[in-house]
Each structure stands twice: as structure tokens, then as C-alpha cells.
């Protein structure tokens, strides 16, 4: 169970506190795509200032290169590349695609995602996929809040896993599969993968010093390095 006290029956998702922000971001992205799709689907709008509806319908029918079948009100004109339009008096051409300003919507979406990342103590690029405002070298440092949060989550998971493994060993000992004093025979340890970008050579040298001083076993050093002990 995550993000709750031990006496609570069910845990909470990591994204529970920001579920409303995520819904707003989803709606914004959906609406942005739909609006941009509608605007880009219309090639141009021809405005007739001095014509009534029957005249406009006759004009459209005369200009159309292809019309729809029975019951399908479709009128299409083909404009080859480099076409020059000559508008007569009373006709204006408007291009909806030119009015699409996706940048402002993207800015709003990124602002919403930044708020979510701030609440989750995560770097911005992990949610926005935009590393333009982030410095990777300064993000994953030992003093960074994101690294501290991830380390806390790792430690919580390790404690839960060790508790579960210990309960499994207790059950095995009760069933006679393990000796009752199995804790004297071995000890289960867990080491999470490293989070901080460091100099691997310095890490190995520091571990070697601890091994020589007797503060760390060679097996632990090998486990931290991700290799099998010799």
C-alpha cells in the first residue's frame, strides 16, 4: 500500500493528488488537437459581400471541380501549387490555417504539466518531454529534490520487499523448509540502482577503501557494482 498509513486498507496512486491537473491537461490536449484539426481541414473561406444565398450556391456550383453524390453536399476546388487567386469586388478570401496559434496552447499545456511535476517533486522534462528548460547535469545531483524523493521511494520499496521476504522465510521455517534459526545462516540485503550521475571510478575506489577498512564486505561491494563476487 503506497501513500497511506499502515491501517488503511487500500493505497493511493502516486498521481492521486494531481488527478485534476492531469484531467485538465488531457482535456486541453484533446481540445487543442480537435480545434486545430477543424481549422486545418478548411482550406479557405470565401466571403461574398453583395450576393444572396441562391447566387452564392450557383457560384459555388460553377467553380467546383468535384461535387458529392446524391445527398452529399460536398464541393471541392483544386488549387495547384503556386495558384494566384484574383478576387473580384465583394469577395474576400480568408485562410483559417493562418489563424492557428498552437504555440499558446502548448505553453498552457506545459505550464499545467510543470505544476504536476512540481507537486510530484519530479524534473519538468519527465512529464513534458521537453528538456529545453532543464539542465540534466544539475537535475540528478545528490542535493536535488528529485533525487531525494526517488531515494525515499526506493527505500520505502526496499523496506516493504524485505518485510515480505522475511514473512516468506518465516512461513518456510514454520513448514520445515528452512531451519528455525535461518537468520543466523544468512541475511537478506537490497541495494537499489544508483540515481545520481557520478564518477564510477571514484565510487569503486571509495568502496575499495571501505572494504580494506572492514566497513564493507567484498560481496556488498560487488553487489553495489552490479557484478558477481570473485
Span 179-197, average pLDDT: 82
Percent of the chain with pLDDT over 70: 69
Of 170 and 225, the one with more pLDDT: 170
Of the pLDDT bands very low, low, confident and very high (cuts 50, 70, 90), residue 226 is confident
Cβ atoms of 64 and 77 within 8 Å: the answer is yes
Q: Quote the pLDDT of residue 213.
A: 93
- pLDDT at 182 (0 to 100): 86
Which comes out higher in pLDDT, residue 193 or 76? Answer: 193
pTM of the model: 0.51
pLDDT (tens digit, 9 = 90+) per residue, 108-163?
A: 888 888 888 888 888 877 777 776 766 655 555 555 777 888 888 899 889 989 99
In 135-162, which positions are buried (b, 16+ CB within 10 angstroms) versus exposed (e)? Answer: eeeebbeeebebbeebeeeeeeeeeeee
* pLDDT tens by residue, 16-63: 888 898 899 899 888 888 877 767 776 666 777 766 667 766 766 776
Residue 135's nearest CA partner among 127, 125, 143 is 125
pLDDT value, residue 171? 93
What lies within 8 Å, CB to CB, of 226 at 6+ separation is: none
Instruction: Give the start-to-end residue ranges of the domains of the chain.
Output: 44-94, 145-225
Distance in angstroms (rounded) separating the CA atoms of residues 190 and 59: 78
pLDDT (mean) for 185-200? 78
Determine the length of the chain.
Answer: 230
Residue 105 pLDDT > 60: yes
Mean pLDDT score of the chain, rounded to an integer?
78
Amino acid at each position: 500500500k503506497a501513500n497511506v498509513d499502515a491501517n488503511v486498507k487500500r493505497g493511493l496512486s502516486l498521481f492521486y493528488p494531481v488527478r485534476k491537473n492531469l484531467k485538465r491537461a488531457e482535456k486541453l490536449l484533446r481540445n487543442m488537437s480537435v480545434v486545430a484539426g477543424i481549422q486545418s481541414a478548411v482550406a479557405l473561406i470565401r466571403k461574398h459581400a453583395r450576393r444572396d444565398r441562391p447566387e452564392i450556391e450557383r457560384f459555388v456550383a460553377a467553380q467546383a471541380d468535384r461535387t458529392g453524390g446524391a445527398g452529399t453536399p460536398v464541393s471541392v476546388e483544386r488549387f495547384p501549387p503556386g495558384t494566384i487567386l484574383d478576387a473580384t469586388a465583394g469577395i474576400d478570401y480568408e485562410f483559417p490555417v493562418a489563424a492557428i496559434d498552437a504555440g499558446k496552447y502548448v505553453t498552457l499545456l506545459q505550464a499545467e504539466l510543470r505544476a504536476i511535476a512540481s507537486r510530484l517533486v519530479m524534473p519538468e522534462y519527465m512529464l513534458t518531454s521537453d528538456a529545453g528548460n532543464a539542465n540534466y547535469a544539475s537535475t540528478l545531483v545528490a542535493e536535488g529534490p528529485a533525487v531525494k524523493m526517488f531515494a525515499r521511494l526506493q527505500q520505502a520499496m526496499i523496506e516493504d520487499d524485505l518485510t515480505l521476504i522475511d514473512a516468506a522465510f518465516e512461513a518456510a521455517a514454520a513448514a520445515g523448509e528452512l531451519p528455525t534459526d535461518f537468520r543466523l545462516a544468512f541475511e537478506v540485503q537490497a541495494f537499489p540502482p544508483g540515481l545520481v550521475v557520478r564518477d564510477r571510478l571514484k565510487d569503486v575506489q571509495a568502496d575499495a577503501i571501505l572494504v580494506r577498512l572492514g566497513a564493507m564486505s567484498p560481496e556488498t561491494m560487488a553487489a553495489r557494482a552490479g557484478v558477481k563476487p570473485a
